[in-house]
Amino acid sequence: MNLPFPDATCVADSVRGQEVTAKAVTAAALARIANGNPVLNCFTSVTTDRALAEAEALDQAIAEGKDPGPLAGVPFAVKDLFDIAGLPTLAGSKINAERPPARQDACAVSRLKAAGAVLVGGLTMDEYAYGFTTENAHYGPTYNPHDLQRVAGGSSGGSGAAVAGGLVPISLGTDTNGSIRVPSSFCGIFGLKPTYGRLSRAGAFPFVASLDHIGPFARSVRDLALVFDLLQGPDPEDPACTDRPPEPCLPQLGRGLDGLRIAVADDYFARSAEPIALEAVATIAHALEATRRITIPEAQRARSAAFVITASEGGTLHLSNLKKRPQDFDPATRDRLLAGAMIPTSWYLQAQRFRRWYRDRVRELFQEVDIVLAPATPCPAPLVGQKTMILDGVEMLVRPNLGLFTQPLSFIGLPIVVVPVQRPGQLPIGVQIIAAPYQEALALRVAAVLEAAGTVSAPVPSIQHP
């Protein structure tokens, strides 16, 4: 473990092999957070006492010859909408700070803990996950480790910045319209938005029940696969969680491309982007020798339907507090939620019916190909406070349009790995590796091939302290 920023697998190997104690690893992570968080503003809570106690218990277990688990001593942090026992679950809001402390950890947190991982804190986000930039009116903006003048993306901005900045090797976030994939792209790290219903959301504060997913961030593909595998499994506490048995992906990572049919999404996914976003897709396609093009039909309408469902379900969820205390919401989310709560039922149900129609078309498409490539974001990370951007010569608002390429895909729950393309002296940008439902393993295999070839990587930048 001589690397400055080892991945989770490497950390766990060292702890399991007793080259280093879990307590020393945890103390080092807490020191990195103490040093880096004032610059990045990515943590809303640091669970120091809990982390050190858990690390000591792990070291004790190892001393007694017990198996400490595949993530032994690996520090991790979670978007602060995941329940952490003993803390109120903020979900990026001021209102939730008045909630009683969570009585138990969220399902995903407890599954990682059971695997030996050590929770070190909760991470920043857009209020109630409604945003793509993590410029939170209550807790301030989260800064991008690659350029402190720029946003980390959102809504899981803290989850992206903490991993990209080397504060923790892995984190958890959620993705309703792109909230794992946008920060992965802007922060230049790997992110996985699994199939809808694949991982339990129990104990994660909801946003849009029809579209919410949870998933991991990491700096290596093997970490992404390992965490995903550990999180799999049914959970009666989440009504959307599948009863399918877990399908471990880690053992499949070395299988290569092995006849996979890979295509680049054209039409909607090849427009309204800065050239650099499309060049990143071309770089990935070239590395995979993918020359085929495919058209995902009605993607613009899919994005629109996702927008309607999001506004309607999100607005309805928060209606009670919108009535009682609208002034306590982040202004950026409040007016959208209020408007969303007023959407006529016919619009909402039409969007839900369209969702099924669109799902059936995309299912047909996956009879012809196994993997589809698309940009993750239309541009690299914008500046903090930037209001507008120009795409294809059209000026548009930054905040609502960063999810242009992510929304039509999460809308029907497809599993997607974002791979980071690094460009020397420039900002990183991500590409979506999209697979058919429940085929996370295929997307992870492709990511592993690209990582092995050096086409994608997630090195920790040296953060220039102001």
Which residues are known catalytic residues? 79, 155, 179
**What is the closest distance, in whole angstroms, from the C-beta atom of residue 236 to other proteins in the complex?**
10
Nearer to other proteins, 98 or 243 (CB): 243
Q: Which helix (H) or strand (E) holds 195?
A: none
Per the structure block, which two tokens stand in for 332?
């950026």
Return the residues of window 265-284 that contact other proteins according to CB under 8 A: none
**What is the closest distance, in whole angstroms, from the C-beta atom of residue 2 to other proteins in the complex?**
47
Stretch that binds other proteins, among 26-34, 174-182, 300-308, 387-395 (CB under 8 A): 300-308
Burial of 199 (0-12, 13-18, 19+ CB in 10 A): buried
**What is the closest distance, in whole angstroms, from the C-beta atom of residue 297 to other proteins in the complex?**
11
What is the total count of residues that contact other proteins (CB under 8 A)? Answer: 38
Sequence-distant (≥ 6) Cβ neighbours of residue 69 within 8 angstroms: 12, 114, 115, 116, 117
User: Residue 394: what residue type?
Assistant: V
Q: Could you give the string, one character per residue 399-428, with x where binding to other proteins holds by CB under 8 A and - elsewhere?
A: ------------------------------
Per the structure block, which two tokens stand in for 224?
């992404």
**Would strands 43-46 and 75-79 be described as parallel, antiparallel, or unpaired?**
unpaired
Strands (E), 257-381: 262-265, 292-294, 371-375
Q: Could you give the string, one character per residue 182-221, with x where binding to other proteins holds by CB under 8 A and - elsewhere?
A: ---------------x------------------------
Burial of 206 (0-12, 13-18, 19+ CB in 10 A): middle
**What is the closest distance, in whole angstroms, from the C-beta atom of residue 131 to other proteins in the complex?**
14
Nearer to other proteins, 239 or 251 (CB): 239
Nearer to other proteins, 59 or 238 (CB): 238
The CA distance from 189 to 460, in Å, is 9
In degrees and rounded to multiples of 5, residue 51 shows phi and psi of -65, -45
**What is the closest distance, in whole angstroms, from the C-beta atom of residue 439 to other proteins in the complex?**
19
**What is the closest distance, in whole angstroms, from the C-beta atom of residue 105 to other proteins in the complex?**
24
The CA distance from 386 to 149, in Å, is 10
Question: Can residue 319 be called a binding residue for other proteins (CB under 8 A)?
Answer: yes
Nearer to other proteins, 48 or 304 (CB): 304
CA 185 vs CA 191, 298, 418, 431, 453: distances in Å: 8, 24, 7, 7, 19
Beta pairing partners, 417: 192, 433
The CA distance from 437 to 191, in Å, is 17
Return the residues of window 321-380 that contact other proteins according to CB under 8 A: 322-323, 326-327, 331, 334-336, 338-343, 346-347, 349-357, 359
Stretch that binds other proteins, among 68-76, 174-182, 315-323, 458-466 (CB under 8 A): 315-323
Q: Are 393 and 420 in contact (CB under 8 A)?
A: no
Q: Could you give the string, one character per residue 43-72, with x where binding to other proteins holds by CB under 8 A and - elsewhere?
A: ------------------------------
**Would strands 140-141 and 388-391 be described as parallel, antiparallel, or unpaired?**
unpaired
Residues near other proteins (CB under 8 A)? 197, 239-240, 298, 300-301, 304-305, 307-308, 311, 319, 322-323, 326-327, 331, 334-336, 338-343, 346-347, 349-357, 359
